[in-house]
Amino acid sequence: MRRMRLVVPPPDREAVRIAFATSDRLRVDQHFGVAVGFAIFEITPTQARLSEWVTDPAPLANTHDEDRLTRKIDALTGCSAVYCVAVGASAVQRLLTAGIQPLKVAPGTPISDLLAALQKQLVENPPAWLLRALRHRDRSSAAQRIAALADEEWDE
C-alpha cells in the first residue's frame, strides 16, 4: 500500500476518521476488495478534511488474496468506517473485527454529500456505529491524557 499524508495541523481529538473507496477522491465508486484507493477524512461537526490518500499498487493482482484484504484493512487502522459500493462477507467480518464499520452506498455517490450527512449526524442523531466510534474515541483520548499525565514529572 502507498500512503500520502497531507501536511496539516495535528489531528483533532474530536475528529472521527472515515474512509471512502474511490478512484478519483470525489465519488465512492469502488468495491472494497479491489479498491484502487481510499480517501481518508477527519470529520468533526464543523469541519471535514482529507488527511490521507492510500492506494493499492496491485488491487487486481489476485482477487482472492487474503493478504490483500489484510493490507487494505491495516491501511484503514484508526478509521471508524469505510464507505464502498460493495464488500464481501469475509471482508465485512474482518472489518468489523478491526472496529471498522463497512457501509455500502450507490456507485458514484459524491463523497461531499456523505461528509455533509455525517457532520449532520454527529450533531443531531448519530447511528449506532457512529455512537460506538465516538465512545471509543473518547475512551482513547482519555487514556492518552492519563498516560501523558503519568509520564510527567511530579514535584512533591
User: In the structure, what pLDDT confidence band is assigned to residue 133 with cuts at 50, 70 and 90?
Assistant: confident
- The Cβ-side half-sphere exposure at 41, using a 13 Å CA radius, reads 22
Pick one of 3.40.50.720, 3.30.420.130, 1.20.140.10, 1.10.1740.10 as the CATH number of 2-151: 3.30.420.130
Residues 6+ apart with CB under 8 A from 36: 23, 30, 55, 56, 59
73-103 pLDDT, tens digit per residue, is 999 999 999 999 999 999 999 999 999 999 9
Helix 66-75, helix 89-97: angle, nearest 10: 40
Tell me the mean pLDDT in the region 24-38: 94
User: Rounded to an integer, what distance in angstroms lies between the CA atom of residue 47 and that of residue 45?
Assistant: 6
Domain ranges of the chain: 2-151
57-72 pLDDT, tens digit per residue, is 665 555 456 678 898 9
Return the pLDDT at 134. 84
110 close to 117: Cβ distance less than 8 angstroms: no
Return the pLDDT at 32. 95
Return the residue matching grid coordinates 475512551: 139
